[in-house]
Structure 1
Amino acid sequence: MEAGADFQDPDGIGALDDLVDADAGTDDLGGTDREPGRDPEPHGSERVMSKLWHVTLCVSGAEAPLKEVRRGLEQLAHDHPFLLTSRYANDHAEIRYWEEARDLHDAAAVALRLWGEHRSSARLPPWKIVGLEVIDRETYHQRIAEGYGPPPAAPVGVHPF
């Protein structure tokens, strides 16, 4: 899946936003947040520009074998290429990734469908969504700079808690 034609990422950092230096307070590549706006199209109409949203999705349910949970999350990461990191136990998991969307409502809607839409194809446990956080890049970087953001991402991939 590629970024839409209206996606503005001049720094070329995209999903690398999760790889920040917490001590520095900004992303390593000098990225800046872009405010949503309007970009005129060639024929005078306007389109809404997309921006990046950091999503944390938490799911929970009946215990499942760890090997099956890991395999399902690895398949989800393959199916959803913007998945950054997943942490899991036998009865819950946390998935973190960047989503491109025009606003928070669209990013949250995609996140709320993610588990259910991939449950069969990735053979994920029949868990329910128990938590969702969607924040913009500016808020994400502010939290990291202030030292209270999400735990630093383990190397990209699927990891036990």
Structure 2
Amino acid sequence: MRRGRPGSFPRGTTERALVSVDSGADTSADHQPEARTSSRLWHVTLSVSGPGAPLPEVRRALEQLAHDHPFLLTSRYAHDHAEIRYWEEARDLHDAAAIALRLWGEHRSTAKLPPWETVGLEVIDRETYHQRISEGYGPPPAVPVGVHPF
């Protein structure tokens, strides 16, 4: 790895690019660990809030989101906030969180979601989810599945 003085850029460039480096990993073309290509299930809880909106419109929008996003388990809503819980398939936590953070914005126009912002996010792996449930301190299982008022 080539290093320069802090704040200096290589000749001909005006900014630095962040590069992800997997320390200690074999990066040869013929070595691709199985863990890199396999996906895992992640339990996502996304909280959004913003200006008040009519409850029937919020419900209809969340029902459309559930139709558009097949792994959606349950949504709870009020006139100014909602909580969405679902399973996401992703390679790692970073990918699952990135997908979750884009969910509301990417579906805002197609599902006619309120112009709310994401105010909370929890992403946990499947084992942690089931461990929390078995120990009695996790989020309650998503029953009944669907869109419900708080």
Q: Normalising TM by the smaller chain, what interval?
A: 0.7 to 0.9
**CA RMSD between the two structures:** 1.4
**1:88 equivalent among 67, 77, 80:** 77
Aligned residues: 119
Please name the residue that 1:153 is paired with.
142
* SS of the residue 1:95 aligns to: strand
What is the Cα deviation at residue 155 of structure 1? 1.7
Radius of gyration: which is bigger? 2
Please name the residue that 2:48 is paired with.
59
Please name the residue that 1:68 is paired with.
57
**1:112 equivalent among 79, 89, 101:** 101
Q: Counterparts of 1:91 and 1:75 in 2: how far apart (Å)?
A: 18
Q: Counterparts of 2:128 and 2:98 in 1: how far apart (Å)?
A: 19
Return the TM-score normalized by structure 1. 0.71
* SS of the residue 1:53 aligns to: strand
Q: Deviations over 1:28-87 (max 9, x none)?
A: xxxxxxxxxxxxxxxx66352110000000000111000000000000000001101000
Please name the residue that 1:143 is paired with.
132
Q: Counterparts of 1:64 and 1:105 in 2: how far apart (Å)?
A: 32
What 5-or-longer segments of structure 1 have no aligned partner?
1-43
Q: Deviations over 1:74-119 (max 9, x none)?
A: 0000000110100001010000000000000000000000000000
What is the Cα deviation at residue 151 of structure 1? 2.3
What 5-or-longer segments of structure 2 have no aligned partner?
1-29
Please name the residue that 2:10 is paired with.
none
Q: Counterparts of 2:60 and 2:142 in 1: how far apart (Å)?
A: 20
Return the TM-score normalized by structure 2. 0.76
Please name the residue that 2:121 is paired with.
132
Q: Counterparts of 2:140 and 2:115 in 1: how far apart (Å)?
A: 26
Identity of aligned residues (%): 83
Give the letter for the 1:121 counterpart.
T
